[in-house]
Amino acid sequence: MHTASLHEKVILAGLLTSDTEQRLFAEDMHEMRLLATTAGASVAAEVIQKRDRPLASTFMGPGKLEEIKAMMEESGAKTLIIDASLSPGQMRNIEEIVEGKVIDRGQLILDIFARHARTNEARVQVELAQMRTLYPRLTHAWTHFSQQVGGIGTVGPGEKQLEVDRRLVQKKISDLEKRLEKIESDRRVQRKSRRDIYKAALVGYTNVGKSSLLNGLCRSNAVVEDKLFATLDTSTRRSFIPGIGPIVISDTVGFLRKLPHHLVASFRSTMSVASEASVLLVVMDASSEWTDEQYETVKTVLTMLGAEAIPRLLILNKADLVTDPFTRKRLTLAYPEALLVSAFSKEDLLQVKERIAGAVQTFDREKQMAEIIAGRTKRLTVDRDPPSA
């Protein structure tokens, strides 16, 4: 499902409601422009409407949509991209007004995922997310269709086309989920083979330089592009940490604010590498004006993955792009425990490795202490229990 052909002209639109913080709204609109560009679109214009709350029928006001329709006709844009998760009914109503294609935030992200899916697992995950997106839209897609189908080779008489399609999509979802389970099972076997090797996972917002750090720490050649979601596949490489020995470091798919839940669910097997790590290398973009908000998103997603208790090492990457001394000072005050580094500096990478060694040693000590306490508790329980007659 590719929503935008190369350099397809689009209009971006967002709704600033009374309960939305202006700063977060600005970040979302900035991300939408980056997402549209990553999907191969050319943004002809951005439209913002202020309302207390969205309209149930058309999300944005009809007057504003008429204004957008005129802009689309004037600019030659055929597609309207709205920064929201739209219901099937809202999408249909908006399309009728603007007389063009309408895409919401989830569809745009899914389009990028489809373009960047390179491995079998990524392709299965994308297709599963597409099916989960399609399923609720079927109800509205077939509201005009009321005739019955039946006969040889079809389902029983009295069943509507909508029900046939919904059953086909449900079966496809079930088949894809089974394929993902098989892929995950194979991966668990692979992980058991390196059970005694320490594991670190690079996590963070999309496009913060995780792949560059992986390459620097492991002397590898993972794909590096200045785009959102440049890769969807987990890259795992070996590295050597002085004082610790060999370690495997995995790069994970980038996080994003307002990432639709069905996308998180579909990509859970890829993201699960984070919940199995000994230490998380949380990477942030030091040069971004939205570092704080992006870190909040990362913490939220880690909680969703059940990885909130895993030790973290904060890394403020792209320090070479931070030339303002006041910005550097603010970052060191806001994140005193973080390393301010550049993925292209050998000295900085050595610091990261030293900090990883410290985190692993702390992990080892806590693990040994937990085992000692568990052993003593077990012995005390055995000593207290009287022998059975």
Per-residue pLDDT for 350 more than 90? yes
Positive or negative, the Cα torsion across 176, 181, 182, 184? Answer: positive
pLDDT above 60 (res 145): no
- Look at residue 136 and tell me whether its pLDDT is greater than 60: yes
Confidence (pLDDT) at 23: 85
Torsion of CA 100, 65, 257, 324, to 10 degrees: 110
Q: Predicted confidence band at 153 (pLDDT cuts at 50, 70, 90)?
A: very low
Say if residues 2 and 101 touch (Cβ distance below 8 Å). no
In tens, the pLDDT along 194-219 reads 556 788 999 988 888 888 999 999 98
Q: What is the pLDDT of residues 58-97, one digit of tens each?
A: 999 999 999 999 999 999 999 999 999 888 889 889 999 9
- Greater model confidence, 54 or 133: 54
Instruction: State residue 378's pLDDT score.
Output: 72
Who's near 174: CB < 8 A, 6+ residues apart?
Answer: none
Tell me the β-bridge partners of 45: 11
What one-character DSSP code corresponds to residue 227?
S
Burial of 111 (0-12, 13-18, 19+ CB in 10 A): buried
Question: CA-to-CA distance for 206 and 79, rounded, in angstroms?
Answer: 25
Tokens of 317: 């990457």
pLDDT exceeds 90 at position 326: yes
d(CA 148, CA 162): 10
Angle 196-199-203 from CA coordinates, rounded to 5°: 165
Give yes or no for residue 45 having a pLDDT over 60: yes
CA dist 281 and 203 (Å) reads 6
* 185 pLDDT higher than 60: yes
pLDDT beyond 90 at 11: yes
Side-chain-facing half-sphere of 60: CA atoms under 13 Å: 29
Local structure of residue 42 (DSSP, 8 states)? E
Determine the 3-state secondary structure of 320 from DSSP. Answer: helix
The stretches of the chain forming alpha helices (DSSP H) are 22-38, 62-75, 88-98, 105-116, 120-141, 161-193, 210-218, 261-266, 268-271, 291-304, 325-334, 346-384
* 223: confidence class by pLDDT, cuts 50, 70, 90: low
Average pLDDT in the 317-339 region?
94
pLDDT bracket for residue 375 (50, 70, 90): confident
Predicted pLDDT at 236: 82
What is the C-alpha separation between 235 and 59, in angstroms, rounded? Answer: 39
Compute the 3-state secondary structure of the chain and give helix, strand, coil in percent, each to the nearest 5: 50, 20, 30
* DSSP H helices in 142-286: 161-193, 210-218, 261-266, 268-271
Reply yes or no on whether the pLDDT at 46 is more than 90.
yes
C-alpha to C-alpha distance for 239 and 373, rounded to whole angstroms: 32
CA dihedral 212, 350, 287, 31 (to 10 degrees): 30
The b-or-e profile of 162-194 (16+ CB within 10 A means b, else e) is: beebbeebeebbeebeebbeebeeebeeeeeee
State the average pLDDT over residues 225-254: 76
What's the average model confidence in pLDDT over 35-46?
89
Query: What value does the mean pLDDT take over residues 353-381?
Result: 79
For residue 144, CA distances in Å to 50, 92, 141, 157 come to: 34, 13, 8, 19
Q: Distance between CA atoms of 208 and 202, rounded to whole angstroms?
A: 11
pTM over 0.75: no
CA 15 to centroid of chain Cα atoms: 22
